[in-house]
Amino acid sequence: MRIAYQGELGAFSEAAARRVHKDADLVACRSFEEVFSSVDAGPAGYGVLPIENSIGGSIHRNYDLLLEHQLPIVSEVELPVVHQLLAMPGATMGGLKRIYSHPQALAQCERFLRTLAGVEIVATYDTAGSAKLVATEKLMDAAAIASARAGEVFGLAPLAASIQDFDDNITRFIVIGRRPIDAMPADKTTVVFTVPNSPGALFKALSVFALRDVDLTKLESRPIPGRPWEYLFYVDVASARDELRCARALAHLAEFAPMLRVLGSYPSWKSREKVAPGAPMQAR
């Protein structure tokens, strides 16, 4: 089984991929686009992508890529994220001039970073990639915000641990693929739709779920490319798409939504944890 993820060894996405299958053959990708391409055309059967962080919010690019590709969401993974400030052995806090990390990680450690005077904050493509940069270039005046595993992989020492703003820092990842991960039943569905530009249109769209007592766990809007001030609405529904109430709600929505697409119906992480807390998924 091959799983694509974005980042270097030691990236949080690598850890999430290991939660899908601990013995999987992992395919490291430079970008989110490359993850989709690796699943779309090979060599990977599945891809793991961050979609939302409990501190930093949504990873908008992956919402856009879900619409651009015909790869359904087949599962999700939640991963506690603990950030460390990693530097070359012998480096000191007082000697730091630059700190590198992914923009999401920087946002999650904002309060800590505000305490550092005269230090340049540099956004990069990856947390573990930032650790690799510091180690490869042997930068004694720089540090990276990344995982403890990234420090082990690249031989860096922690100058500070658990520097995220909140202890309950959790990233939710989606798993994309052409077939289910395993035989667990779906209990969550992600859809995207548009609404007419008329008064109460969004209220009417959301009411198809409310009237049937179908719980919405996430609502995200994104601009429609090429159509200024018009929006797509992404919704997570706490139900399988073929469950009667959800199926009727979607059929009702389709009657007046100019565009409606189901991006996946899959087992939620909550349901997986109830069955086997802490256990990785096993693909069939």
List, by residue range, all CATH 3.40.190.10 domains of the chain: 2-80+169-181, 84-161
pLDDT of amino acid 37: 97
Q: What number does CATH give the domain 188-266?
A: 3.30.70.260
173 carries an active-site annotation: yes
**Over the stretch 4-34, which tens digit does the pLDDT of each residue have?**
999 999 999 999 999 999 899 999 999 999 9
**Over the stretch 47-60, which tens digit does the pLDDT of each residue have?**
999 999 998 889 99
In this structure, whether the domain defined by 2-80+169-181 belongs to CATH 3.40.50.300 is answered with: no
Integer CA distances (angstroms), 182 to 38, 256, 274, 282, in order: 21, 35, 16, 6
256 carries an active-site annotation: no
Instruction: Count CB atoms within 10 A of the CB of residue 237.
Output: 24
CA geometry: angle at 206 spanning 236 and 73, to 5°? 20
The catalytically annotated residue of 32, 36, 112, 171 is: 171
Query: Is residue 237 a contact partner of residue 191, using CB atoms and an 8 Å limit?
Result: yes
Q: Indicate the class that CATH gives domain 84-161.
A: alpha beta
The catalytically annotated residue of 36, 173, 209, 233 is: 173
| Residue 282 pLDDT grade (very low, low, confident, very high; cuts 50, 70, 90) | low
Cis check for the bond before 43: say yes or no (omega within 30 of 0): yes
